Amino acid sequence: MTRPLFAALLGLLGSLFAGCTPSGFVANQFLRAPKSFPKVVAPQPRVYFSFPDQVTDTLPEQLATVGDPPLTLAYRLVPPGDYGARMVLTNHQAYGKSWPLYWFPAHPATNALPKRGTVVFLHGYGLEHGTLIPWALQAAGHGWNGVAVDLRGHGNSDGTRITFGIQEAHDLTDLIDELSRRGQASWPVQVVGVSYGAAVALRWASQESRVERVVAITPYDHLADAIEGLRRSYASWLPAGLIQRAAEKLPERVGQPPGGLDPLNWLGQHPVTALFIAAGSDPVAPPEAIQRLAACSPSSRIINLEETTHEMAPFRIDQLAQPVLDWLDTPLPQVGQAVSGKR
């Protein structure tokens, strides 16, 4: 099955308002569960990916209830084993053009491997846990027990609103506690997040001491800047002022002070050591934004993917698999001990 990557809220906003629509209404749309948006209004995908459905057919989706009030999260376990996962870059023909297609040949696990630990995989905005299955398969081949999660308001998880990391961080702690009780995961955990999921991962790690290592692929530093980058890239015809005013209202709408949804502010207060992945051609999380995030912890490291877009970056497993796996394997440095910087 070929899957389009990167559904954007801005395409939906264009179908909901015109002219002098109040910015408060637009802010509420940003907080609306992405899974509730009609897919027909999403912009044309620029990247596609695929992997054999027979792999996930052997790894059934499961549900866990977390939080108060209770919320059900969908997740998929990818136990350690040899899935033969690799990456092939080819093309997908759609809308009269050729688009990048990341194809991940794989097969059901042929043999189990001893567990080295648990890695939680967090998808981007408007997506679902299936976009991280290629990464989970890669990590499983090196002994990691993978937990790919649908964040609240995404995929098959419950939730009518999202909070850009505030409540999602609590959801994840409750989820791993529940999976630990089920014998499906154990602390400490590692976390790999992409874009919105990377921001959630940083928030979670800044609050939860049992999260040990973080891989943050193209996280934004300021939410409003990321939204503006999306507007310029996908819907430049939308009025910039309206989008900016709506973005400024978001922190208060989820009970946060100004700047309370910005990962740079989170890390300024509670530094997180992470492996950051930057994409050279990224209007949503440009390399300078990644540099600001990494500077919050001298032990963090940056990998720059030149001539790579925001949408393409998480699928460059050919370049990223080894350094990411090395990062997950390497004990964190002691305080004051720096990890050499950029690649």
pLDDT of the residue at 337: 40
* Residues of the chain with confidence (pLDDT) below 50: 1-20, 335-343
The pLDDT score that the predictor gives to residue 71 is 97
In a domain, 215, yes or no: yes
Beta strands at 71-78 and 61-66: parallel, antiparallel or unpaired: antiparallel
The full DSSP string for 198-253 is HHHHHHHHHH-TTEEEEEEES--SSHHHHHHHHHHHH-TTS-HHHHHHHHHHHHHH
The answer for 275, left when phi > 0, alpha when psi is -120 to 50, beta otherwise, is beta
How much is the pLDDT for 42? 59
What is the total count of domains within the chain?
1
Q: What's 254's domain CATH number?
A: 3.40.50.1820
pLDDT of residue 222: 98
Q: Is residue 229 part of a domain?
A: yes
Examine residue 266 and state whether it is found in any structural domain, yes or no: yes
Residue 140, domain member (yes or no) = yes
d(CA 51, CA 54): 9
Q: Specify the pLDDT at position 331.
A: 75
Residue with tokens 């990062």: 327
Q: Does 117 map to a domain?
A: yes
Q: Does 35 reside within a domain?
A: yes
pLDDT digits (tens, 9 = 90+) for 182-223: 999 999 999 999 999 999 999 999 999 999 999 999 999 999
- What is the structure's pLDDT at 263? 98
pLDDT confidence of residue 41: 54
Residue 335 within a domain = no
Residue 201 covered by a domain: yes
For 232-261, how does the pLDDT look when each residue is reduced to its tens digit (9 = 90+)? 888 788 889 988 999 999 999 999 999 999
- Domain with 287, as residue range(s), is 2-329
Closest Cα partner for 137 from 76, 202, 215? 76
- How far apart (Å, rounded) are the C-alpha atoms in residues 10 and 110? 43
Q: At what angle are helices 223-234 and 9-16 packed, to 10 degrees?
A: 70
